[in-house]
Amino acid sequence: MNDVWCKHGRSALGVVLLGSMVGAFGCGGGATPQADEPRAESQPGAVSGGDASSGSSSTTQVASHPPDFELDTLSGESVRLSDLVGSKVILLDFWATYCDPCLAAMLHLQQVYTKHRDEGLVILGISIDGPESVANVRSTVAKLGVEFPILLNEESRVVALYNPRTSAPYSVLIGRNGRVLAQQEGFTTSNATVMERAIANAVAL
């Protein structure tokens, strides 16, 4: 099924490739991975997305052990990924205020967060808004009623590490052992339960 995705503020339709357990929120958008770029290990729940223009498959660019980072929250506190690894299941959700599928995905993720946070789930909503729209982040989060931490990535450093195609929404699920379990691009209501299943499996471990 086609999935909705955003890139640079515009919506489009992208074709996704389903993994062995986890289907994609797949959105695509830019350069395909080069041979020497890090790729996630093949494991239950790992997802590879499809190129939005051609429908061809593309392997994720995030290494099986994701790089550490530190970003500020809307309240000015700092969050470091490595401080959470080992005790928490972590979902990184790259989103933007101008991306309607991102907002729909965040509403769903808030429900997932409410359901699983007591089991050790942490969702980090990483805003990829640039200078022209970052001022809208706080009001958008308040309007959506999102309770999980929102991180500001105005310098795009973390986006370059995890999401070089600048796809949105784009999610990376990291297990308690610090390994990438699943990645998805885009969002549709029909496949939203797929990532939730992967999260439920991860927090049960």
* Report field, pTM of the whole predicted structure over 0.85: no
Q: State which H helix or E strand residue 93 sits in.
A: strand 89-95
Give the residue with greater pLDDT, 147 vs 19: 147
CATH number of the domain that residue 34 is part of: 3.40.30.10
User: How many domains does the chain contain in total?
Assistant: 1
Give the residue with greater pLDDT, 151 vs 50: 151
Beta-carbon contacts of 47 under 8 Å, excluding residues fewer than 6 positions away, are: 18, 19, 22, 23, 24, 26, 60, 182, 183, 184
Domain range for 113: 3-204
Q: How confident is the model at residue 7 (pLDDT cuts 50, 70, 90)?
A: low
